Amino acid sequence: MKIMNLKFILWLLWTGFIAYIFLLAPPLHLDETLTLLKNIFTLEWAAINPIILSLFSLVGIWLLIYSSLLFIDGRMQSIPFWPFAIASVGSGVLGLLPYLAFREPNQQFSGQKDAFLNLLDSRLYGIVLTLSTVVLLVYAFAFGDWGNYVQQFQSDRFINGMSLAFLLFYLLFPTVVGDDMARRRFPNAQVFLAVVFVPLLGSLAYLCLRPPLMLSTIAEESLLANR
């Protein structure tokens, strides 16, 4: 897909999602939404449908997955990722989409990784996210009330928007994972397809299995030196 076409689609998604939330989504029940958020942050989880609690947490997992790629990617971009990461904490995919639209394709990394990038680049980071995700999925499927979730999805703007944001995180991941694979000299088409088509767990598996960035860079430099 041509770069300009992709950027147009990303901006269209951003404006379209905003228009949907304000014009077409179910009504916003502000009191109920504030009560839900209060219960989440004060750990009063018994009052929350496990599916909704897990969904809220999995949106956070998606942000952490993107962070493990885009803080590294942002090092080589004209604009850093961190302002969009902060915006994403409060607005989810709406804060992420502008960065994806502004960024340029980049398959390089230069300089040294600091402690923060080393953490995001580590396999332990991916393993912790994967274990957390498995716990959340088991919790949702074992104890959740699906009838109540469907009812809230159809009638509550916050739940509806959060659910669609989760889906968009999945659909947008291919726009960044290809560059990350190439940066690590890991352009395996079968792996790419597995990452793209397995919702969430495929992306987490990639974080657990991808070679560390510095090791792939060192290996390339050694190969060039021996030629």
Nearest CA among 179, 64, 189, 213 for reference residue 129: 64
| pLDDT > 80? residue 175 | yes
Token code pair at residue 179: 């560059």
Percentages helix, strand, coil for the chain (3-state, rounded to 5) are 80, 0, 20
| pLDDT > 90? residue 187 | no
| pLDDT > 60? residue 216 | no
CB-based contact 64:124 (threshold 8 Å)? no
Q: Mind giving me the DSSP string for 91-130?
A: HTHHHHHHHHHH--------S---HHHHHHHSHHHHHHHH
Nearest CA among 61, 73, 117, 60 for reference residue 99: 73
Residue-wise pLDDT for 109-166, tens only, equals: 887 888 999 999 999 999 999 999 999 999 999 999 999 999 999 999 999 999 999 9
| pLDDT > 70? residue 218 | no
Residue 196's pLDDT is what? 81
Rg (CA), the chain: 19
Task: Give the mean pLDDT of 88-93.
Answer: 91
**How far is the C-alpha of 94 from the C-alpha of 17, rounded, in Å?**
8
pLDDT tier at 11 (50, 70, 90 boundaries)? very high
Task: Give the mean pLDDT of 52-57.
Answer: 96
pLDDT tier at 25 (50, 70, 90 boundaries)? very high
Longest dimension (CA), the chain: 67
Task: Give the mean pLDDT of 181-207.
Answer: 85
- Give the percent of the chain with pLDDT over 70: 92
